[in-house]
Amino acid sequence: MRPLIAEPRYPQAPGAAPQKPAQALKPQKAPRRTVAPTRLAFRLERLWLTPVVRIITRVGVPVFCVTLGLGLWLGDGDRRADLIERYQDLRTQIENRPEFQLSALAIEGASPEVEAAVQALLPVHLPASRFALDLDGYRAAILRLDAVKTVALVVQPGGTLSVRVTEREPVILWRTALGLQMLDESGHRTASLKRRDARPDLPLIAGEGADKAVPEALAILAAAKPILPRARGLIRIGERRWDIILDNDRRIMLPENDPVQAIDRALALNAAEDLLSRDFTRLDLRNATRPTIRLSVPALVAFQQAAAQTTAEASQ
């Protein structure tokens, strides 16, 4: 059947170009019908837009499924035992590799006594795997030695464990009821001593709590350097102050505060009056404005006789 062609409204003019026939009329499509979502679909869409639901769906559900599967698989005791055995075998193979083996121990900066103690504290026998040695625990055990100040552990190439030790330097002796103890500049014990003449170069202190005031004792000894040949040591009194013990049981009693200044005053008196060469038992410097001296019994008798003679001569 031929399509319908629209005819021109007016006749064509003479000599004009022939007109093209109009195109066939196309049928128009019917408008698309919009279908409204159901109530269930609407609620599910709104629920999916919630962040918590999306996270649970994308992350929580897969994790739960994997965990559930592993739990069911590991629920068998034979499977668990086999897995643990495989893990232990793999770990042992890795730890026993040659690059992880320690074959020698090198100790630097330690005295023979400390070196022997460091070797005795090594918890394993070499050669051994590096993983079998707790380096932090070994370092802590070495630091518990009184003579050790710092320690560094370094695993060198070739399987050598290097132990670099810095020892405490004893600067003073502390006499206690248990014997002589060597202390460093902070008052920390370094070692015990059986005889005083084993370290005659170290000054001597005594008294309860003297180890806690070692820095002050060292300052007093430095200030009293001119009279140290006559000094036997320092004694702590009441854990508050110091006394300097001189030869012949003479004593210089220092104040609780500013003992170094009191030493300077005593040295000035000695330079002016030759005080330390006199026969006395106590030189009390606790009162800065009024130092006092206690004479010995023979010196006191001689002084009283001289005073009486002077009084008698004055009365005549």
**CB-CB contact of 253 with 284 (8 Å):** yes
- Whether 157 and 264 share a structural domain: no
In a domain, 256, yes or no: yes
Residue ending a domain, choose from 151, 167, 183: 167
Note whether 192 and 152 are same-domain residues. Answer: no
Statement to judge: residues 256 and 135 lie in one domain: no
Same domain, 177 and 221: yes
Residue 216 lies in a domain: yes
- Whether 251 and 123 map to the same domain: the answer is no
The mean predicted confidence, pLDDT, of the chain is: 84
Give the lowest-confidence range in 14-28, 50-64, 140-154, 275-289. Answer: 14-28
- Indicate whether 127 and 209 sit together in one domain: no
Domain edge (last residue) among 118, 140, 167: 167
Is residue 89's pLDDT more than 90? no
Q: 119 and 215 in one domain?
A: no
- As beta bridge partners, residue 192 has 181
Do 260 and 215 form a contact (C-beta atoms < 8 A)?
Answer: no
Res 5: pLDDT: 47
The verdict on residue 144 lying in a domain is yes
How many domains is the chain built from?
2
Over residues 195-254, the pLDDT tens digits come to 988 999 999 999 999 999 999 999 999 999 998 888 999 999 999 999 999 988 889 999
Q: Among 167, 189, 210, give the residue marking a domain's end.
A: 167
Q: Do residues 219 and 184 both lie within one domain? A: yes
Closest residue by Cα to residue 255 from 243, 239, 238:
243
Q: Are 153 and 181 in contact (CB under 8 A)?
A: no
Residue 92 inside a domain? The answer is no
Does an H or E element contain 266, and which?
A: helix 259-273
What is the Cα–Cα distance from 144 to 311, expressed in whole angstroms?
A: 69
Please tell me the distance from the alpha carbon of residue 85 to that of residue 282, in angstroms, as a whole number.
Answer: 80
Tell whether 85 is covered by a domain: no
CATH code for the domain in which residue 260 is found = 3.40.50.11690
User: Which pLDDT does position 125 carry in this prediction?
Assistant: 85
**Segment 34-78, tens digit of pLDDT:** 666 788 888 888 888 888 888 888 888 899 999 988 888 888 888
Residue 212 has what pLDDT?
Answer: 93
On whether both 213 and 234 belong to a single domain, the answer is yes
Among 87-91, 108-112, 152-156, where is mean pLDDT lowest?
Answer: 87-91
- Res 172: pLDDT: 95
The answer for 251, left when phi > 0, alpha when psi is -120 to 50, beta otherwise, is beta
- Predicted pLDDT of residue 24: 53
Q: Considering the domain boundaries, does residue 58 fall inside one?
A: no
Q: Is residue 211 part of a domain?
A: yes
Which domain covers residue 130, as residue numbers?
98-167
Would you state the structure tokens that stand for residue 260, as one six-digit string?
């170094």
Domain shared by 258 and 282, yes or no: yes
- 198 inside domain: yes
Q: Tell me the per-residue pLDDT of 123-180, one tens digit each, with 9 for 90 and over.
A: 888 888 888 888 899 999 999 999 999 999 998 888 889 999 999 999 999 999 889 9
Q: What percent of the chain has pLDDT over 90?
A: 37
Say how far apart CA 127 and CA 177 lie, in whole Å.
44
Q: Would you state the pLDDT for residue 1?
A: 46
Nearest to 218 by CA among 257, 252, 259, 249: 259
CB 207 within 8 A of CB 176: no
In this structure, the answer to whether residues 284 and 184 fall within a common structural domain is yes
Is the pLDDT reported for residue 13 higher than 60? no
Q: Is 242 exposed, middle or buried (0-12, 13-18, 19+ CB in 10 A)?
A: buried
